[in-house]
Amino acid sequence: MKRVAEVTELKEGGFVIIDGEPSRIVSIQTSKTGKHGSAKSRVEAIGIFDNQKRSIVKPVDTKIDVPIIEKKSAQVVALMGEKVQLMDLGTYAIFEAPIVDEVKGKLAAGVEVEYLEALGRRKILRTK
């Protein structure tokens, strides 16, 4: 899910969608209004799922997509190579997610984890 916001509403540490990828904002620089145009903002961000650095330059009054990020809890059901099968503790839905380096070696059946969900994709943040 996503919502629309103006570039002036964005803040460092917030989120934005750049090139279809939800990203965490690292820095925002705004230039002054020139003689022949409006002020522009340069937004630099790092992808949540792929850790790629991205940047965009837009006029400050432009509308931009902002992802709705949800933090949820889940329990490990099974380890399957590079993926892990999880059960959401709120909805009891079972799904798969890739194992990230931060939690490698800490996962086992029955362990609770916290994960992010954005634009239909999921990423494990940490174990509880």
Domain residue ranges of the chain, discontinuous segments joined by +: 2-67, 70-127
Where are the strands (E) in the chain, listed by range? 2-6, 15-18, 21-30, 40-47, 53-59, 63-67, 70-80, 83-88, 94-98, 112-118, 121-127
Q: 70-127: which CATH number, 3.30.420.40, 1.20.1740.10, 3.40.50.720, 2.40.50.140? A: 2.40.50.140
pLDDT of residue 52: 94
pLDDT of residue 102: 86
Query: Within the chain, which residues score under 70 in pLDDT?
Result: none
pLDDT of residue 76: 94
pLDDT of residue 26: 97
Which burial class, exposed, middle or buried, applies to 45 when counting CB atoms under 10 A from its CB (0-12, 13-18, 19+)? buried
pLDDT of residue 72: 95
Amino acid at position 22, single letter? P
* Alpha-carbon distances of 15 from 67, 70, 94, rounded to whole Å: 7, 12, 27
pLDDT of residue 105: 86
Dihedral sign for Cα 59, 50, 26, 112, please: positive
CATH, domain range 2-67: 2.30.30.30
Query: Could you tell me the pTM of the whole model?
Result: 0.83
Place of tokens 């022949």: 36
Taking the CA of residue 120 as centre, how many other CA atoms within 13 Å lie in the half-sphere pointing to its CB? 1
| Interatomic CA distance for residues 58 and 86, integer angstroms | 39
